[in-house]
Structure 1
């Protein structure tokens, strides 16, 4: 084992340090940023912009402005002098602009709908969890109320104690009228006094 170690030491050039070793990518550090051919963009900002555009496309204001632009376009290209018309009668440029607007509007509307669907899905999931928590809390409270009712069923109520005391008073009155002392109602007094046992 020792000769092999010495042989490996001899293979390394003199003065070789850790800085001269070949660099391997470390796993505990972030790697270098890769260059991308496509331009980078913020998907959240683009999604908000698409929702704003889709919201504007679905309003009556957009329809009014679009109608006004088309009427002005057609009026100018029909009544202006021939050398100032930029889109003569078949209105090919107008058709191209409208198809371009439609081709961009459809994906933007779909993107806005997808974002709305994602928000609805998250809201539904939160509502479902909230409903589950509410049901669990309701079941817990129902069990607690049932346990309290069962416990209260075994507790002496005020009316029951009052009725028992009234029955005892009646029995004592009856015994007093008869002149007999009931056994066990009043303990027999000690001949030396009531406080003799307490000392």
Structure 2
């Protein structure tokens, strides 16, 4: 019997074709045979497949590639969201955290220092000085409580300055503690952002590498189809 007129059965559809119209399974690309093995795990390299079924599996493989690529993007987004949800939020309200630990004296020192460095304090203190000097020089002329050069007033001013200095230092210490916590919080946020960006870069590089591999496989299948079409015509 002539080999050209010999007929064989297609592994997929089971129909009989001339052997010249069939393709041996051993000559098909591995990625396509893996796709065929999902439905026919018992195939062997000596089996044959018809052109229509081979084209069907090629198209099926290309569709599965595109579908898996779309699903991979979704998985990438899910992994990033999941990795962020597994960690506790670093952003914190430093003001509220500190207010819970300061004593009444420290909070009072902060308010006094805030008032002492305001225009309201300067205006009130200037009015007090004007009233004190006016009373002791104009109103009470005969027996003033604090005659010129206002020694009692100087004593009061010295006491205010002596008290105001440590109060301001306490307020500055509290502000420094706030600034220290803010800088630590900012460092933690920047570090987390840097790690997340690095994580995203690694995922994108991994995804792009797989895309190039898949595009190359699709092009190889297209070249196979073009070469078979050129043989027919």
* Shorter-chain TM band: 0.5 to 0.7
Q: Does 1:62 align with 2:121?
A: yes
> 138, 147, 157: which one pairs with 1:79?
138
Distance (Å, rounded) in 1 between the aligned partners of 2:102 and 2:191? 33
TM-score, length basis structure 1: 0.60
**Alpha-carbon spacing, 1:158–1:61, altered in 2? closer, same or farther (3 Å):** farther
**Higher CA-based Rg:** 1
Give the paired residue count. Answer: 133
Once the two structures are TM-superposed, the CA of residue 156 in structure 1 deviates from its matched residue by 3.1
Q: Does 1:142 align with 2:210?
A: no
Distance (Å, rounded) in 2 between the aligned partners of 1:67 and 1:127? 42
Distance (Å, rounded) in 2 between the aligned partners of 1:56 and 1:130? 34
Once the two structures are TM-superposed, the CA of residue 66 in structure 1 deviates from its matched residue by 0.6
**Alpha-carbon spacing, 1:138–1:85, altered in 2? closer, same or farther (3 Å):** same
CA-atom RMSD in angstroms: 2.4
Distance (Å, rounded) in 2 between the aligned partners of 1:81 and 1:114? 45
Distance (Å, rounded) in 1 between the aligned partners of 2:164 and 2:144? 28
In structure 1, stretches of 5+ residues that fail to align are 1-41, 175-199
Query: What is the CA deviation profile of residues 81-112 of structure 1, one whole-angstrom value per residue up to 9, with x for unaligned ones?
Result: 33562111110110011111111111101100
Q: Does 1:118 align with 2:172?
A: no
TM-score, length basis structure 2: 0.52
Q: Would you identify which runs of 4 or more consecutive aligned residues in structure 1 move more than 4 Å?
A: none
Larger fraction in helix: 2
Distance (Å, rounded) in 2 between the aligned partners of 1:93 and 1:112? 29
In structure 2, stretches of 5+ residues that fail to align are 1-100
Q: Does 1:45 align with 2:101?
A: no
